[in-house]
A and B are shown apart, each in its own frame.
Chain A
Amino acid sequence: MTGPPIKHELRSPELVVRNLSKRFGAIVALDDVSLEVNRGQVLALLGDNGAGKSTLIKCISGVHQLDSGIIELGGQPVHIRSPADARRLGIETVYQDLALFDNLGPSANFYAGRELAGPPWLPRGMRLLRGREMNETTRRLLDQLRVRLPSFDALIGLMSGGQRQAIAVARATAFATRVVILDEPTAALGVRETKQVLELIVQLRNQDSAVILITHNLDHVIEIADRAVVMRRGRNAGETKPKPENRQEIVSMIVGA
C-alpha cells in the first residue's frame, strides 16, 4: 500500500501557515510556527505531548483563533473564525474524539451540520430532510472507500472502534476539497482496523488532497508520510523525509536530544 511518493515540488503549496503564534494566558502554546502542505502529499506532524501539535491543527480547523500569523489556502489568505468556516473552505478534520453522534446512523453522521434539505427559500432549520438522497450517497461513498459496516441502518454507538474511526475518516474524505487533518486516527485501534484507516489515508492522498497526520507511531509515519515536520515546545524543531534509516534522527528531533 505504500505507493511511490508523488512529486509535487513544482506546485505551490495548498495550505501555508506562516509565523503563527497562540498563547493561553501566560502560556505560549505556539511560537512563530510555520508549515506548508501540498496536494497529494501526506505530512506527518510529530512531537511529544504538549509540543503544540493539537493547538496548531485546532487553529487551522477553526477551533482556536490565532493571535498572530497568516493562514493561506490555495495562495489566498483566509480568516477561519469557526470550525464551520473551515469546513466551508474545504478543510476537514478528524478529531481524536471523532466528533461522531453515537445516537445517529452513518448517513446522519456524514451529513451532520450540512444536511441535504429543501426547499432553499425556507430557513435552514425548517427545510425538509432529503433522507433517501443522503442515505444513498453515504452508502456509495462507504462502498467506494471499502468501509464495511455490519448494518447500514445501525446506530454508530453500536459499532466497533475501527468502524467508527473508518466512518469519521470516510466523512472527512468525502467532503474535503482541499485539506484533511487527522489527529491520532489509529490510536486505540486493532491491527486490522489500523490497516484499514491507513489505507483510507493513502486513498486520500491519491485523490489529491493535502493531508496532515498527527501520530505517535513512527512505523506509520515511515510507511505513508511524504514529509515529517517535528514540533517541540510550541516551535518548529525540524523537518525530514521519513525513511527507515533516519528514524533515529526523527526521534532525537522529537525529544530534543
Chain B
Amino acid sequence: MKTNLACSHDKASVPGGNEAAGHHLIGLALAGLRFGPGFILAALVLTLGLSSPYFFTARNLGNVLAQTATIAVLAMGQHLVILTRGIDLSVGSVLALSSVAGALVYREVHSSAVVIASMLGTGLAAGFINGFVYVWGRLPHPFIVTLATLSIARGLALELAGGAAIPGMPATILFLGGGSIGGVPTSALVAGGVALVLAGMARWLVWGRWIYSVGGNPDAARRVGIPMRGVLLSVYMICGITAGIGAVLTSGRTAAGSPLFGNLAELDSIAAVIIGGASFLGGRGHIGNALTGALMIGVIRNALNLLNVDIFFQLIAIGIIIVLAVEADVLRGRLEERFRMIQSLRVNQ
C-alpha cells in the first residue's frame, strides 16, 4: 500500500537484542509483583517461626486464624467493591450495628437462625442503602455515602444499645465465632466457605465477569450494555452481607453484641485488599489477594504480640506496608506501559 508516513514511523533502528531482554525483564518484574504478596506472607511466617518458638504451636496458629477470620470476611466484600473502582467505608460500623441488632433480637427470640438472619439482614440493608444512594443518587464516588453510613450506623448502634455491650448470644453463634472443629477455628472455616462461594461466583458467573468489566472500563461497560446500576448495587449489598457475617463471628467470639465492635475495621479491610495485591484502581485482583492481605495483617499483629513489640507500632507498621503496596500497584501500571510500548516497537519493526 502506498503511504507517505512510512519513514517517520519505522523504528528499525532500535537494537533488537537489548529490547528483547528488556521485554523479558519487565515480564519477570510483573510476575514478581503478581506473586509478591504471597512470597512476603510466606517470608513473614517463616521468619516469625524461626524467631519465636510459640508461633508454630497449634494454639497460636488457631489464634491467628480466628483473629484474621473477621478481617478476611470484611476484606472479601471490600474486594468486590474495590474491583468496581469503589470503596466502602461503612463496614466496621455496619458490623457493630448488625451485632447490636442480633443481640436485641436474641432478647426476644431465642433462635439462632433468627438472630443470624437479623445480623445478615441488617448488613444487607445497610449495603443496599449505600449502593442505592450511590447509584440512583448519581454520586460521583461512593466515598461520601459510605462515610455517612459509617457515622449513621455507629450512632444508631450506640443509641440502640444504650452505649454499652449487650451480653448473650445463642449457641450456634458462639460456635461459629468461638468454636473449633478438629483444632481449626470455626470462624476460619466460615471465612474459607465465604471465600469459596465468592471466588466461584466471580469466576464462573456472568455477574462476576460484569464486575471485572465495570472496574476495567466503566464507559465501555455501559456502551456494551452491561447493567451498571445492578452490578454496582449488588457489590455494595454483598459487602453489607459480609459485614453481617463479620458481626456473627465477632459476636460469637465475645458472646455479646456491642456498638463498639469493628472500630477501624473498614481500614483493615481496605488495607488487606491493597496489600494482598489487588489494584486500588479497580478491575484487578481476586479473592486470594484479599485473603493473603488479611493473613498478612493477622500475622503481623501476632508477630508484634509474640515479640513484645509496642502495640502502637502495629499501626505504624501496617501503614508503612500500605504505602509500599500502593507504590507497587503504581509500579505495575508503569511497567505494563513499558511492556506495551516495546510490544508496539517490535510489531512495527
Main SS of chain B's interface residues?
helix
Given contacts A103-B215, A108-B209, A125-B207, is CB(A157)–CB(B340) below 8 Å?
yes
> In the complex the two chains form, is A157's CB within 8 Å of B336's CB?
yes
Assuming the contacts A127-B206, A158-B339, A163-B347, asked whether A104 and B212 have C-beta atoms less than 8 A apart, the reply is yes
For residue B327, CB closer than 8 A to chain A, the reply is no
CB distance from A4 to the nearest CB of B (A): 16
CB contact between A117 and one of B206, B224, B347 (< 8 Å): that residue: B206
Bound: A161/B9 CA distance, A: 13
Do A192 and B226 touch across chains, with their CB atoms under 8 A apart? Answer: no
> A131-181: which residues lie under 8 A (CB-CB) from chain B?
150, 157-163
Measured between beta carbons, the chain A residues less than 8 angstroms from B221 are 101, 112-113
- At the interface, yes or no: A78 with Cβ under 8 Å from chain B? no
Chain A contacts with B in 174-196, Cβ cutoff 8 A: 190-195
Binding stretch for chain B, among A9-17, A48-56, A79-87, A207-215: A79-87
Would you call B223 an interface residue if the criterion is a C-beta within 8 Å of the partner chain's C-beta atoms? Answer: yes
Contact A219 to B224, CB < 8 A, known contacts A108-B209, A127-B206, A129-B209: no
Which B residue sits closest to A61, measured CB to CB?
Answer: B223
CB of A161 within 8 A of CB of B344, answer yes
Query: A225 an interface residue at 8 Å Cβ cutoff?
Result: no
Q: Mark contacts of B307-349 with chain A using CB atoms, 8 A cut-off: 1 yes-contact digit, 0 otherwise.
A: 0000000000000000000000000000010011001101110
Residues in B with CB closer than 8 Å to A219 are 2-4
| A1 interfacial contact with B, CB 8 Å | yes
Residues in chain A near residue B283, CB distance under 8 A: 101-103
Contact A160 B212 (CB under 8 A): no
Cα-based distance from A191 to B5 in the complex (angstroms): 7
Is the Cβ of B2 less than 8 Å from the Cβ of A112?
Answer: no
A157 to B343, CA, bound (A): 11
Q: A104-B216, A192-B347 are in contact. Are A87 and B224 (CB under 8 A)?
A: yes
**B207→A160 contact, CB < 8 A:** no
- A90-102 Cβ-contact flags toward B at 8 Å (1 or 0): 0000010101111
Q: Looking across the interface, which residue of chain B has its beta carbon closest to that of A87?
A: B225
Whether the pair A99, B212 counts as a contact (CB closer than 8 A) is no
Report B225-260 CB contacts with A as 1/0, cut-off 8 Å.
Answer: 111001100100000000000000000000000000
A200 smallest CB distance to B (angstroms): 13
- In the complex, what distance in Å separates the CA atom of A25 from the CA atom of B252? 60
Residues of B contacting A128 with CB < 8 Å?
A: 204-206
Provide the bound-state CA to CA distance between A244 and B148, in Å.
65
Interface presence of B175 (CB below 8 A) = no
Flag whether A72 is at the interface (Cβ < 8 A).
no
Distance of A15 from chain B, by nearest CB (Å): 19
A124 at the interface (CB under 8 A from B): yes
Q: Which of A101, A114, A117, A162 contacts B220 (CB 8 A)?
A: A101
A112 to B2, CA, bound (A): 36
Q: Give bound CA distance, A161 to B230, whole Å.
A: 32
Instruction: Assess A125 versus B227: contact at CB under 8 Å? Given A1-B1, A101-B217, A219-B4.
Output: yes
A193 touches B230 (CB 8 A): no
Q: Which residues of B contact A108 (CB under 8 A)?
A: 209, 212-213
* B119: min CB distance to chain A, Å: 25
Does chain A have a CB within 8 A of B143?
no
CB pair B340–A158 under 8 Å, yes or no, is: yes
Residue of B nearest to A171 (CB): B224
The reply on A67 being an interface residue by CB < 8 A is no
Nearest chain B CB to A94 CB, angstrom units: 11
B159 contacts chain A at the CB level, 8 A cutoff: no
Chain A neighbourhood of B231, CB < 8 A: 125
Which residues of chain B are within 8 angstroms of A113 by Cβ–Cβ distance?
213, 221, 224-226
Bound CA span A114–B343, Å: 29
Q: Which of B2, B11, B343, B347 has the most CB of A within 10 A?
A: B347
Which chain B residue lies CB-closest to A198?
A: B1
Q: A157-B336, A157-B340 are known contacts. Are A82 and B1 too (CB-CB below 8 A)?
A: no
Contact A158 B343 (CB under 8 A): yes
Q: Does B197 contact A (CB under 8 A)?
A: no
Chain A residues at the B interface, C-beta cutoff of 8 Å: 1, 63, 82-84, 87, 95, 97, 99-104, 108, 112-115, 117, 124-129, 150, 157-163, 190-195, 198, 219, 223
A-B contact pairs, 17 of them (CB 8 A): A83-B225, A99-B219, A99-B223, A101-B213, A101-B216, A102-B216, A103-B216, A104-B216, A108-B213, A112-B224, A125-B205, A126-B207, A129-B208, A160-B340, A190-B9, A190-B348, A198-B1
The 5 nearest A-B residue pairs measured at CB? A84-B225, A113-B224, A190-B348, A99-B220, A160-B344
* Residues of B in contact with A (beta carbons under 8 Å apart): 1-6, 9-11, 204-210, 212-213, 215-217, 219-227, 230-231, 234, 283-284, 336, 339-340, 343-344, 346-348
Q: 8 other contacts beyond A83-B222, A112-B226, with CB at 8 A cut-off? A: A87-B224, A101-B283, A104-B213, A115-B206, A125-B230, A129-B208, A190-B10, A194-B3
